[in-house]
A and B are shown apart, each in its own frame.
Chain A
Amino acid sequence: MSNHSKAKQPVSDRRKFILNMAKGTGYAVIGGFLWSAYLDDAKASPLILRPPAAIAEKDFLKTCIKCGLCVEACPYDTLSLAKPGDHRPIGTPFFTPRQTPCYMCEDIPCVPVCPSGALDEASVTKNGKLDINSAQMGLAVIDENSCIAFWGIQCDACYRACPIMGQAITIEYDQNKRTGKHAYLKPVVHADACTGCGMCEHACVTEKASIFVLPREISMGKAGSHYIRGWDKKDEARLKDAHAIHTTTEVSKKKAVDKLNAGLEGLLDE
């Protein structure tokens, strides 16, 4: 009987409103998960080279408004905005050095035009002047297996293409033991000077570049504070930030001697 009367009763506005809200929330939760999953995937593109003075990638992704003013300012058409299908965070500026490297303009036209602060002028300013040499777009790494200089064939294309020649890439001599009378002229990249402009990658003569630029987070390791160059005052300064971690276990609660004097019964139980 109660069922019958319920069916006849009109659904109240309040009930309708609450149900509508619940429906909307349901859709929103489903949509939110799908959306977030897509974004999580879409923003995970670690192998992307940004314009000079770009802030850390994580902040760059939230700060860049994708207006393309840096792309328009670039006189060499080095930069482009990621299109759908480029498999890079959509709309953000990047460059591919093997196609067109950054030619390191002294006036860095791409940076001051950025309205959002995703390109930070201060990071490429030295003594009040723009200084492209302090840019850190990436770091060149060399595949010694395919670099023909490491085979003993003379090639210094990357060394000569480097805009900071003699600092970012140097040539090191080594004896070629195979022939006994020739020298290896091996290119070496120096992380403190390399800007990641990619002119070396662009110039590399091998079929696929044997020297190539990667984002610094990818191409650089980190020694951490366990290892310090004790002979270097500057490096030793890193210890200031280091802090010891004390872990206390059941065994290490007491001093070692006290623990041993107390007998080993407890330890052997396990």
Chain B
Amino acid sequence: MSKIWNNYRYLILRRVTQIGILVLFFGANAWGWKILEGNLSSSILFGVIPMSDPYAVLQMVVAGAVIASDLLIGVGVVALFYFLIGGRAFCSWVCPINMVTDSANYLRRVLDIDRAQLERSPISRNSRYWILGLSLIVSAFMGIAAFEFISPISMLHRGIVFGMGFGWAAIGMIFLFDLFVLKNGWCGHICPLGGFYSLLGKFSFIRVHHLEENCTLCMKCKVVCPEKQVLHMIGKESLPVISGECTNCARCIEVCDDDALRFSIRDFIQNKKMGE
């Protein structure tokens, strides 16, 4: 039992937060709970603390909307949290699409699709930054928040709270794409919201650290990591993961049997000495 906990503790906690947030949103709409109202685009915690999606608001600004003070405060709350503490944690601890792509990923490993598809990825992991930039340009030209009109993330969380419609189609598309076409295709290559949080959370305090002296080069961490380019130091150097693309999902920490990976507070002085 303790082995299961040890190997899945962060995964379990992540599912609890992901599902818990959706349950609270759902309860607010269905039964009038006053804990967390709205959805991931914008919400109110305990009827007091506003929280808003900084990327959505950025698109609205570019589209030429007048931004109300409630939204600005909400953006401040969310952006500050991820900027200082969470990094890209939204993607693995909050975003409901994470459960879709994680299950596609799990199936890939079970069906051994990874080994069959060894050719070089047809899409660059930097595509998300291009799409991020493009979304802002399109928002400016069309006068509406461009990604918010096609975002499968919003379709899913909005759908779960307010009714799904044909939103399932978009979710199914992502699942199949990640399962059969490209490993970590959506979250690791395309999603501009992930790209946005990668940039926003680049300097956050919570980081995964690698201890090279404990590493036995089993590479289990790289198998489970959805952004395995961030683990370039495995078995080579004791370094923190400094890339903003790390989602702090902590799967690498729990699959490591040798205590060679752990969470730690970012140590800037050490970074300078060892990383740069």
- Could you tell me which A residues sit within 8 Å of B by CB distance? 24, 27-28, 31-32, 35-36, 38-40, 42-43, 58-59, 61-63, 65-69, 71-72, 80-81, 83-86, 89-91, 115-117
Sorted nearest first, the 3 A-B pairs with minimum C-beta distance are A83-B165, A67-B42, A85-B166
- Among B28, B41, B133, the residue within 8 A (CB) of A66 is B41
Q: Which of B71, B74, B169 has the largest count of A CB atoms less than 10 A from its CB?
A: B71
Which of B39, B60, B146, B164 has most A Cβ within 10 Å?
Answer: B39
B44 at the interface (CB under 8 A from A): yes
Residues from 4 to 37 in B contacting A, C-beta threshold 8 Å: 28-29, 32, 37
**Residues 125 to 178 of chain B near chain A (Cβ within 8 Å):** 130-131, 133-134, 137-138, 141-146, 148-150, 154-155, 158-159, 161-167, 169-170
Residues of B within 8 A of A32 (CB): 134, 137-138
Contact present for A39 and B163 (CB under 8 Å): no
Tell me the B residues contacting A by CB distance below 8 Å.
28-29, 32, 37-39, 41-44, 50, 52-53, 56-57, 60, 63-68, 70-71, 74, 130-131, 133-134, 137-138, 141-146, 148-150, 154-155, 158-159, 161-167, 169-170
Task: State in angstroms the CA–CA spacing of A59 and B143 once bound together.
Answer: 9
Closest to A24 in B: B130
Q: Give, as a whole number of angstroms, the nearest-CB distance from B231 to chain A.
A: 24
Given known A-B contacts A83-B164, A115-B68, A116-B42, A35 and B154 have beta carbons under 8 A apart: no
Among candidates B71, B148, B163, B170, residue contacting A80 with C-beta atoms closer than 8 Å = B163
Whether the Cβ atoms of B68 and A62 lie closer than 8 Å is no
14 inter-chain pairs at a CB distance below 8 angstroms, sorted by A residue, are: A38-B149, A43-B142, A58-B143, A59-B65, A61-B143, A65-B41, A65-B56, A65-B145, A67-B38, A69-B37, A69-B42, A83-B163, A84-B159, A84-B169
Task: Write out the residue numbers on chain B whose beta carbons fall within 8 Å of the beta carbon of A35.
Answer: 134, 138, 146, 150
Name the CB-closest residue of B to A25: B130
- Which of A59, A67, A69, A85 has the most chain B CB atoms closer than 10 A to its own CB? A67
A62 to B139, CA, bound (A): 9
A59 to chain B: which residues have CB within 8 Å? 65-66
Whether A67 pairs with B165 at a CB distance below 8 angstroms is no
With contacts A65-B57, A72-B28 taken as known, whether A116 is within 8 angstroms of B71 at the C-beta atoms is yes
- Shortest C-beta distance, B116 to chain A (Å), equals 27
**Is the Cβ of A62 less than 8 Å from the Cβ of B166?**
no
The CA-CA distance from A202 to B221 in the complex, in Å, is 60
Q: In the complex the two chains form, is A62's CB within 8 Å of B143's CB?
A: yes
Supplied contacts A67-B38, A72-B38, A91-B41, 10 more A-B pairs, CB within 8 Å: A27-B130, A36-B142, A39-B144, A61-B144, A62-B144, A68-B158, A81-B162, A83-B165, A91-B148, A91-B158
Once A61-B144, A83-B166, A84-B167 are accepted as A-B contacts, the answer to whether A28 and B63 lie under 8 Å apart by CB is no
Residues of A close to B42: CB separation below 8 A: 65-67, 69, 115-116
Q: Contacts of A117 on B, CB cut-off 8 Å?
A: 66-68, 71
Q: Which residues of A contact B170 (CB under 8 A)?
A: 84
